[in-house]
Structure 1
Amino acid sequence: MDWMAWTWPTAIFFLVIASLLITFTILAIKYPETPRVGVLRIETTRGDRLFITLLGSAFINIAWLGLTDLAQWWALAVCAVYAVLVFRYV
């Protein structure tokens, strides 16, 4: 797979996404959840909130790259705070 130019950060990224999906699947099987209504006024489940978090984090990172010269690690911190807020209030 040399043509794909895999790097350790890329591999870690995909491993984290895969482990999140596996974890949320196990949680859904073991602890079924009823949807709840948050600040968006729509019913969301754990999986919905994970999707919203991943999508928002992608936009945060893209904006971070385009608008600041700070290290990307700071964007990771912003994404972590964003994830906590989404899972708590959405």
Structure 2
Amino acid sequence: MFDWMVWTTPVAIFFICIALMLAGMTVWELKSPTVLRKGWLPIATTRGDRLFIGLMAAAWINLAFVGLGEKLMEWLSLENPPSVWISFVFSMAVLALVMRKG
């Protein structure tokens, strides 16, 4: 069923984290309904809005990192492409920032 996708450990962990966040947000919303608030994002957002924006940012960060892997090898004179764990940690940090301050 899942043979069409390359399930590496980072990819699996990324999708597991998304599923856990969605489940957690559902429980949180049921316990404490959200209200609109204005952070540093240019629009008033709810928790769900900030989660969506943060997940989109995380996806774009990971895609950019994978796409620039060979260039980073050249620029930094590396023997191997940099680990995707770097982009995973950075994208989760950006997601946390958007959720907290956005």
**What range is the shorter-chain TM-score in?**
0.7 to 0.9
TM-score under structure 1 normalisation? 0.81
Q: Which stretch of the first structure deviates more once superposed, 55-64 or 1-10?
A: 1-10
Contact 2:38 2:45 (8 Å CA) reproduced: yes
C-alpha deviation, 1:15, in angstroms: 3.2
Runs of at least 5 residues in structure 1 that lack an aligned partner in the other structure:
none
Partner Cα distance (2:56, 2:101) in 1:
16
Q: How does 1:29-68 map to 2 (within 5 A)?
A: 29-67=30-68, 68=72
Change (3 A) 1:43 1:56: same
Bigger strand share: 1
Name 2:92's counterpart in structure 1: 80
Greater Cα radius of gyration, structure 1 or 2 = 2
C-alpha deviation, 1:12, in angstroms: 4.1
Q: CA RMSD in A?
A: 2.0
C-alpha deviation, 1:19, in angstroms: 2.2
C-alpha deviation, 1:17, in angstroms: 2.1
Name which structure has the greater RCO, CA cutoff 8 Å, separation 6+. 2
Runs of at least 5 residues in structure 2 that lack an aligned partner in the other structure:
73-80
Structure 1 runs of 4+ off > 6 angstroms? none
Deviations 1:2-26 (A, max 9, x none): 6435636355443332222121111
Partner Cα distance (1:40, 1:60) in 2:
18
Q: How does 1:20-31 map to 2 (within 5 A)?
A: 20-31=21-32
Bigger helix share: 1
Change (3 A) 1:77 1:35: same
